[in-house]
Amino acid sequence: MDIKNLLFDLGGVIMNIDRLRCVRSFERLGFADAGRYLGDYGQKGPFEALEAGAVTPAEFHAQLREIMGLQVSDDQIDRAFNSFLTGIPVERLRRLKELRKRYGIYLLSNTNAVMWDTRIASAFRVDGGERADYFDGIVTSFEAKALKPAPEVFDYACRTLGIRPEETIFLDDSAANVEGARAVGFGGLVVPPGREFYDVLEEAGIK
């Protein structure tokens, strides 16, 4: 395989996440069933619809308030939701910059409009840069209106980013997402919890 590009997942690969922290934040708001809707690798209900671009943030807030049966503010919901994200280690950002000298570096994330321009954007500034400084192109699920591991989101990424699957390695912490990428012709590497993507790449002979 002639590798020209590396396509990265965000949460669990570049950005640290903590599902339980998020669940507890919602529980403190009075949302006792939060754990049923929030998963490590995928969401349900309004959370999933937001990631798929099927609802706007305003619709998401309204639907969630209805499910919760509570009058909580948009800001309270967003702060609880953003607690899923715990930051990006500087070393990962520096490794991305190094890899970008040799490969096209791209991002493909199941994410949502609430987090994207708030917690995610600020997390990339930890080393003095902006999100766009680390990637040659970015695709988000809410813009693509499709979620990994569906083939549609990988097709969208190829069209939007101008990359070819047979020249691209996809990295994700979800084995199901990696299998989805492989099914449409990408190379794929799973980044297990507790591992660093750059160690996984080096073990695969990609430096």
Residues annotated as part of the active site:
9
Contact at 8 Å (CB) between 18 and 86?
A: yes
How many whole angstroms separate alpha carbon 96 and alpha carbon 127?
12
Which residues does residue 140 pair with via DSSP β-bridges, in sequence order? Answer: 109
In 3D, which of 3, 2, 22 has the Cα closest to residue 11?
A: 22
